[in-house]
Amino acid sequence: MSNRYYTHLGSVFFLHLVVLFGSWQFLNKDLVSQNLKMGPTVFKLQVASQVLINQPVPQMKKSVQPLPKKLSAPATAKSEPVTEKLQTTSTLNEKVKADLRSQYKSELRSRIEENKYYPSLSKRLGQKGEVVVAFTLLEDGHIVNIRIDNPSRYESLNESALNAVKKVHTFKPIPKELGETRMDIKVPLKFFTI
C-alpha cells in the first residue's frame, strides 16, 4: 500500500477522535453548567424519555350503553321475550347437539381409518375405489349389523373395508347429551395409490 493511503487513514482517524472528544467535552460542559453529573448513558435515556413524553397519547373511545327502559306494558308483554329466549336456547342446544354428534362420528371414522388395511396385491395391481360400509352403533358403543352399502368393483377392497369396521367392534358409548340409544352410520372408505 502506498504512503498516501496510510496518511489519509491516519488523518480520518484523527478527525474522528477530535469530533468524538469535542462532542464529549461539549456534552460534559453542558451538563456541568446545569449542575448535573451524568454519563452519556443517562443523557441518552433522558433524551429518549423526552421523545416519549412528547408523543401524543391515543384517546380511547368510551362506549356508553343506554340504560334499559322501564316496562310500562302489562305482564303479557314480558312473555314474548321469554318465548323468543326459549326458542333461541333450543336452537343453541340443537347446534351444540349437532356439533357433539359430528365430533363423535368423526372420532369413530378416524378409529375405523386407523384399522383400514390396503391389501398389498390390490395395491400392486392398481386397484382403487371407495367402499361405503353401513352399520348400527348401539348406546353402549357396540357395533352391530355391519354390511356393505355401496361396494367397489374389487372384492378384496370390500373385504378390507368390512374388516376395518369389525376390528373396532366396540367404540365409546354414545354421549348421553345426544339422547339417542342407537345410530345408523355409513362410512366411506377410500382405497387409492399416490
Residue 79: φ, ψ to 5°: -70, -30
From the first residue on, what is the mean pLDDT of each consecutive set of 10 residues in the chain (194 residues)?
Answer: 76 73 57 52 54 55 61 51 56 80 91 92 91 93 93 94 92 89 92 80
Ordered domains of the chain (ranges, CATH): 92-191 (3.30.1150.10)
Q: What is the pTM of this model?
A: 0.52
What pLDDT does residue 88 have? Answer: 59
What pLDDT does residue 185 have? Answer: 92
Alpha helices in 116-151 (DSSP H): 120-124
- Rounded Cα distance between 98 and 112, Å, is 21
- Rounded Cα distance between 184 and 151, Å, is 18
What pLDDT does residue 79 have? Answer: 47
